Amino acid sequence: MTDAGVDRPFGLLAELTYGCPLQCSYCSNPLDLAAYADELTTTEWQRVLAEARELGVLQLHLSGGEPLLRRDLPEIVHSACELGLYTNLITSALGLSSRRAEQLRAAGLDHVQISVQADEAALSDRLAGTPSFQRKVVACRLVKELGWPLTLNVVLHRHNIDRIAGVLALAEELGADRIELANTQYYGWGLLNRDGLLPNRAQLERAEVVVRAAHRRLEGRMEVVYVLPDHYSRYPKPCMGGWGRRQLTVAPNGDVLPCPTAQTLPLPRASVRAHSLGWIWERSPLFRSFRGTAWMPDPCRSCDRRELDFGGCRCQAFQLTGDAARTDPVCHLSPDHGVVADAVRAANEVPGPGDAVLTPRPQTVARRSR
């Protein structure tokens, strides 16, 4: 426990930049990317990592955007390793050359997680918005050659979920140690494109059969993680294990968030450029807003699940109802559940991928503060 009587955070998601060479239509980054262009410097990130370790953080996830766009990434990794943090690079792998990989290995990087859009080049490149499939395959093989554990991260949606068997076969071929098959979370560009991304029930049922078989076949060789879309769940997922309980995110401009998408909420901001990470975690109005259960309205307040799902996702509640304090509409007990049921109904009126026009996330480059 911290001095303020709250749990210590276990993991830090460091979003080093929102610059990215891909244009994925399901990206959860903010729509207003320009607002995050004044990125933390190397020195500022090193201070944040030291404060995170003092606060109790053990795992550091380096993400974005595309963290490889930061030329100082090896310096940041080296600083984290000196602090005793376990480091995980979450990357599109574009830019992971042999030279870059050797630098990161020398810096002490522990783990690499590479995003894959599909199991074959044409579809993967279309979904990524740029030719990238072959470069990802080469990067995956490089990761294994250098002795890193390899996780593949595949965001599932209407346009690739029917390729899940091929994706698993690709993961086996590449020698992945772990694969995350996570249905799209509808934030940022994902929410903007939800009507064209949400799969139908038939697609989900086919995918679940394939995943169950893969669990049996790959047990002991590859960990297979499958995450259902929230919209098809009876109850919501706990927000990062509960708001401000175990995880925190630092955005490229230094904003500190209880989860990666909380910048959408009309709450007081908290920045490492104004306060220490410890003060923000323990005492800031932002982190105290929805911590625990006292803030909950009914039906959450009187629900036996209130200590399990903590009312669900505050960002999803705000995006779908305009009120961050309402019960997550994913929950079948929510008075606002109809907005989710309507979206699911519409998705099931379309048998397959359809011809929906998806709005791509714009390509951007990293822009650092000086």
Q: Annotated binding site for [4Fe-4S] cluster: which residue ranges?
A: 20, 24, 27
Q: Contacts from 47-52 at CB under 8 Å and sequence distance 24+?
A: 47/272, 48/14, 48/250, 48/254, 48/272, 48/277, 49/12, 49/14, 49/76, 49/79, 49/80, 49/83, 49/85, 50/79, 50/83, 51/272, 51/276, 51/277, 51/278, 52/9, 52/12, 52/85, 52/277
Residue 38: which of 8, 14, 17, 68 has the closest Cα? 17
CA-CA-CA-CA torsion sign (316, 112, 151, 94) = positive
Rounded to whole angstroms, the Cα distance separating 161 from 193 reads: 16
Stated as kind and residue range, the H or E segment containing 183 is strand 178-183
Binding-site entries: 20, 24, 27
Kindly calculate the radius of gyration of the chain based on its CA atoms and give it in whole angstroms: 20
